Chains A and B, each alone.
Chain A
Amino acid sequence: MSLTDQAKHEPTPPAAETPSRADHRGGALWWHLTNVYRLTIKELRSIRADPIMLALVAFSFTIAIYAAATGASTEATNLSVGIVDEDHSDLSRRIAASLTPPTFKPAVEISVGEIDPALDAQRFIYVIEIPPRFEQDVLAGREASVQINVDATAAAQAFNGMTYIQNIILNEVARFIAGREVGGSIPIKVVTRSKFNPNFKSSWFTSVMQIISNLTMITVMLSGAALIREREQGTVEHLLVMPVVPFEIMFAKVLANGIVVLVATGLSLVLVVEWWLNVPIAGSLPLFLAGACVYVFTVASLGIALGTVATTMAQFGLLSIPVLLVMMLLSGSTTPLESMPVWLQYLMRFISPTPHFVIFAQNVLYRGAGASIVWPQILPTAIIGALYFIFALRRFRRVIFAG
């Protein structure tokens, strides 16, 4: 230490000169705000210092989104069908030939004995059995039957694919008869139009919903980890001896992690969803990001609340995983919310902000809804967020001060 020359140091001014909260020019609010600002900068620097975390955030908002949107489609595509053709007639061949991509993979002809093993091994989701003399029966006007074996454990697609197969068989049979006989005219004309997503392309849906899922996961993990890291390193203790209040510390964490996640979300929507995946965004991006601010605040508060409940990172991991999965899967972003039991729907809407935000995101991004339509979703998100924040702040005070 260079204290060789003590005369070099003029006596330090007395402590009274240090500005205090009361006489600060901007008043108490300004004081709090500057503290939050400084702490936020600190948090952002901490995040930047961890390359593994940054790489994982980048992965979650790019490749993970792309892979989920293009790879896993809940729409009925690429369905694997086996066909047992015991008729070998013109009609049965027509039915097999009409199972065409993209909905179906080319049908594979198998023998009766192969049905069970093939379904057991998940080779096919459907096996169609066409009995002998099927064509003859149809032409003779006799009752003819076709059997569709459905692997009913393929939850997401089994039913829709089955509807398609039924329609195809009926259409083929109708066309086959119509080619030979003059039938009656169709009593009504049906036009089914799909709004907001004309071809039921699931990549439109999955990409944005995957962003919401990953946003939830990353925000909770980042903000919870930011708190646990301070606790494990003892730095929170140091912050608390300084003239900062727990609120500022917590709010800065919410803010810093929120900013990182919001930037990632915005970039991901524009670059990955719109540009890479070519998904049209119907509504206003600024409106969506404004709503996302409220949501991220809520989820970051939840992350901190979980971080105060768990004392170590191991506990935090084990605690946050079930919480995250429940939030992500029971939000209406994977399966329709209205399919859940009513009590569970209410429960989820009451404890989790995600169902509200999922509706908000769908309304804004797909349906092009404006602020006047979506405020009923933002309000509950904000209320839940405020409750989380208050809970987290109380826990934060108690846990840290109990030492």
Chain B
Amino acid sequence: MSGSAVAARVEGITHRYGKVVALNDLTLEIPAGCMAGLIGPDGVGKSTLLALIAGVRKIQAGTVLALDGNMAEENHRRQSYARIAYMPQGLGRNLYPTLSVFDNIDFFGRLFGQGATERRARIAELLAATGLDPFADRPCGKLSGGMKQKASLCCSLMHDPDLLILDEPTTGVDPLSRRQFWELIDSIRARRPLMSVIVATAYMDEASRFDWLAAMDDGKVIAQGTPAEILKRANKSTLDDAFIALLPPEKRGQHQDVVVPPRVEEPDATPAIEADGLTRRFGNFVAVDHVSFRIGRGEIFGFLGSNGCGKTTTMKMMTGLLPVSEGSAKLFGKPMLADDAAARENVGYMSQAFSLYGELTVRQNLELHAHLYHLPEDQIAPRITELLERFDLKAEADAKPESLPLGIKQRLQLAVAVLHRPAMLILDEPTSGVDPVARDAFWRTLIDLSRNDGVTIFLSTHFMNEAERCDRISLMHQGRVLAVGTPKALAEARGCATLEDAFISYLEEAGGAADKKQQEPSVPAPVAAPPSTEGTQRHASWRFDPRRLWAYARRETMELLRDPIRLAFAFIGPLVLMLAMGYGITFDVENLKYAAFDQDQTPESRRLLESFSGSHYFSEQPPIRSEEELEQRMRSGELALVVEIPAGFGRDLTNLRPPEVAFWVDGAMPFRGETASGYVSGLLLRYVKDLAVERLGPNAVSSAYLGSINIENRFRYNPAFKSVFSMVPSVIVIMLVLIPAIMATIGIVREVETGSIANFRSTPITKMEFLLGKQFPYVVVGMLTFILLVIMARLVFGVPVKGSFGALAFGALLYVFATCGFGQFISTFTRTQVAAVFATTVLAVIPVVNFSGLLVPVSSLTGTGRLIGLLFPAAWFQPISVGVFTKGLGYSDMWLNALVLGLFALAYFVGAHLMLRKQES
């Protein structure tokens, strides 16, 4: 330890998630300038403590002091963001998978306001130090787990933090990469000795190399000091044992050492698994390359290898999840086929990531699987009780897994895997991220299943002590099996003392130039001192900084460009919709089907009917012969109009006795019915006039009486009276709300779901910069869509912009800002992408279709509908779009609507700003 300085001090910290207490009145002082470690089982509050110190989580009760200031004070927190680096739990959780390594690191440089030269120099240095320079252009999502963690570390170190906080940085990373990772940290610390590092870890062998440790259990610290002090206190030789010894007696009592009884081989049994030349290709990439192995019945067979070496792919092929490209796999002597449901009943599978239903309770998950495996009804309840007991899940039986710590979730997964008593278990890294006590308990179950029940177990792991417990292990690298044998034999074959050394030696031998390169930085690289950034980042302020805004805008844009499908949907959707609606939505009612029910059949009645058959508004159908037929054909919706002429019509007409004619209009669709009645009265007017002129001669009075008033209709803005002139501008209104809103809402919720929102929480970016930066690409997409649609309106539909294009574009810009803001606002109260898209769609489609002037002018809306319409920006942009397109309007006519749109944009922005929390609560 260097000096007595303190990196962080917490006093009386209590933190709850609902009813669960994560931290319970914790007081702790973490020394500065050294490697300080937090150890303890899952769910004891390590991550919470780190998040509180980093300032990314809101303090509930107690005081947190970090870097000599109170983290509850906003001022101090803001200054600290520039001095603290926080790497959240999970492989590359704060990286953007589609961006390259370089772009990811560059993004962090920009966030801390570094200039172009400085960034380049620092990135080059960091990449060289981590051995990532050959992969600078590779997307982070395609890196192996170890490389992801290194890239993530580069991002954290970009601004020379004074306090580096790492939350389980090596969980799920293979031994070689893990070793390299710590060597890298050592070399960086050698160069910057004043930097404090706080690490949470589940690996005790790592913890034993730290300068200072705090062992935690149940939200409290049970021991602290140097590793030597802790060993001395517990009077044990290894940290694993010491930790268990330090636990309170009631917990310690559950622990037992794992003893593996020797396996009795059945010599002539068919192997449980027999893989022969198993190969799987994804395009050009060979994930698994002619792998062959046999696993005997009841054997525990371990798969070891670096991340991404093909372990998971092999296991998926064994379960039938992935078809085999070449070679064969047999389970109990029978070939495994991809779609063979019966064969699966013999296998219990546990995938690497938690893959049960987070929204169902533990018990409901077990019930579901019991039923799907068709356990006899009367056995289900006892079996579930037995499993809850056996896997220590009774207390959590009615909790939802999404709120449980990883270790408990893994126990549930195993319980589900063994539920139907399969003869074989295929477990993909079942203990990754699980603490030592739980891991040992897990292993005792496995050994019990193997030795007592004869279950064959095929698992993959990164833990060497687990590998040593396997009957045989296989080392994999880049899709090939390097060696198979008992752990002891493999270590002896390489002449190594431990399996870990043997493993690393195998890997180093097999690894090509790329891996060699990663090895180099184990010797601290003699790089020049990094350029000073005192001026730029130390006083990174909360004042608006366009560089940070641009960092987010630029990154969001790059991500969008890397997702061509999303981009294509964003542009193709509006074009398709404009075609469909431009042609399809029309209020020009024509070709109404009508039929005559002519009970008169005289020249007079036929003359009346002729005025209908001659009109293009109506299309004649076979005549009606009876009342029943009339009823029937109207009921089926076939006829929109029936003209019923009574018997004696011709006679009455000739005798100047006004005959009665009945028109039956189908009113089911009121708009069509109303239009049809309008047409009828128009046609009749002409018919009657002709009749009168014929009868009385062109007499002035009678013609006035019969309507010689000349009514002149001027169809303004749309002389041909075609719907397309109002539909085309309206499509623009619809599309500019839906597409930008969906994209903007997803932009934020996705970060929350993938975890990269941690970068917003732990860096100096302000809420305003964040929101505006993330709006930027979608505003651009919206405006490009707008231009495309305007061009299409002109070229395809012949609907030109009559008024000022500038005014239209200006209105569209304000409108798109408002709709993006709407999307962002929605994202602040939805937690999942599913809910966000659902909410945005439902909340936007209903008002935009019904209450924005598309079908009914806003001036005719009433009641709730009018209110909903006016409270949504579409109703205010519709007059701009329709007005400029068809009425030739300009800026001066639009200022009020533009002003309201601007207010909408502002209101949504303010709403999102208020709802968005810089700290997680």
Contacts and interface: CB of A to CB of B under 8 A. Distances in A.
Contacts of B721: 152, 158-159
Interface in A17-44: 17-22, 24, 31, 34-35, 38-39, 41-42
A194 B667 contact: yes
A362 B372 contact: no
B116 interface: no
Interface in A112-161: 117, 119-123, 125, 138, 141, 143-160
B542 interface: no
Given A31-B374, A122-B859, A156-B855, A318 B573 contact: yes
A197 B857 contact: no
B448 A188 contact: no
Contacts of A11: 452-453
Contacts of A22: 342
A174 B705 contact: yes
B554 interface: no
A271 interface: no
B751 to A, nearest CB: 12
Given A339-B587, A401-B323, A2 B351 contact: no
B839 interface: yes
Contacts of B209: none
A225 interface: yes
Contacts of B390: 1-3, 9
Given A15-B423, A68-B846, A197-B668, A403 B750 contact: no
Contacts of B565: 310-311, 315
Contacts of A336: 589, 669, 671-672
A234 B373 CA distance: 20
Interface string B192-224: 000000000000000000000000000000000
Contacts of B581: 325-326, 329-330
A225 B834 contact: yes
B665 interface: yes
B727 A155 contact: yes
Contact of B453 (A12, A78, A173, A218): A12
A60 to B, nearest CB: 6
Contact of B861 (A35, A71, A146): A71
Contact of A238 (B347, B349, B865): B349
B441 A188 contact: no
A31 B372 CA distance: 9
B636 A373 contact: yes
B837 A316 contact: yes
Nearest to A325: B577
Contact of B373 (A185, A186, A243, A344): A243
B577 A242 contact: no
Contact of A146 (B341, B711, B863): B711
Interface in A336-366: 336, 338-341, 344, 348, 359, 362-363, 366
B921 interface: no
Taking residues whose C-beta sits less than 8 angstroms from the other chain, chain A's interface range is: 35 or more
B351 A156 contact: no
Contacts of A50: 359, 832, 834-835
A317 B837 contact: yes
A162 B587 CA distance: 14
Contacts of B634: 195-196, 367
B584 A67 contact: no
A85 to B, nearest CB: 16
B493 interface: no
| Residue from B661, B671, B726 having most chain A Cβ neighbours under 10 A | B671
Nearest to A368: B635
| Residue from B376, B634, B635, B678 having most chain A Cβ neighbours under 10 A | B635
B448 to A, nearest CB: 6
B376 A19 contact: yes
B321 A240 contact: yes
B846 A121 contact: no
A329 B586 CA distance: 10
Given A317-B841, A403-B321, A194 B677 contact: yes
Contacts of A237: 321, 351, 355
A194 B667 CA distance: 5
A78 B599 CA distance: 40
B714 interface: yes
Contacts of A18: 345, 373-375, 420-422
Given A122-B859, A156-B587, A189-B658, A367 B668 contact: yes
A156 B667 contact: no
Contacts of B445: 1, 3
A38 B372 contact: yes
Contacts of A314: 563, 566, 742-743, 746, 750, 833, 837
A78 B358 CA distance: 52
A339 B586 contact: yes
A308 interface: no
Contacts of B663: 190-193
B716 A146 contact: no
Interface string A161-180: 01110110110011001100
Contacts of A193: 662-665
Contacts of A373: 632, 635-636
Given A53-B838, A241-B321, A146 B712 contact: yes
Interface stretch (A202-210, A254-262, A292-300): A202-210
Contact of A74 (B338, B590, B856, B869): B856
A80 B862 CA distance: 13
Nearest to B338: A401
B370 to A, nearest CB: 9
B171 interface: no
Contacts of A315: 563, 565-566, 569
B442 interface: yes
A310 B572 CA distance: 14
Given A1-B411, A243-B342, A13 B421 contact: yes
B509 interface: no
B351 A152 contact: no
Closest 8 CB pairs of A and B: A71-B865, A197-B667, A152-B718, A163-B678, A1-B441, A194-B667, A49-B359, A318-B569
Given A12-B421, A68-B851, 5 more contacts: A122-B857, A156-B856, A221-B837, A313-B746, A330-B580
25 contacts: A12-B453, A15-B423, A19-B375, A38-B372, A67-B865, A72-B850, A72-B865, A75-B674, A145-B711, A163-B682, A188-B658, A193-B662, A200-B670, A205-B669, A217-B842, A242-B372, A314-B743, A314-B833, A319-B573, A325-B738, A336-B671, A336-B672, A344-B583, A367-B666, A373-B636
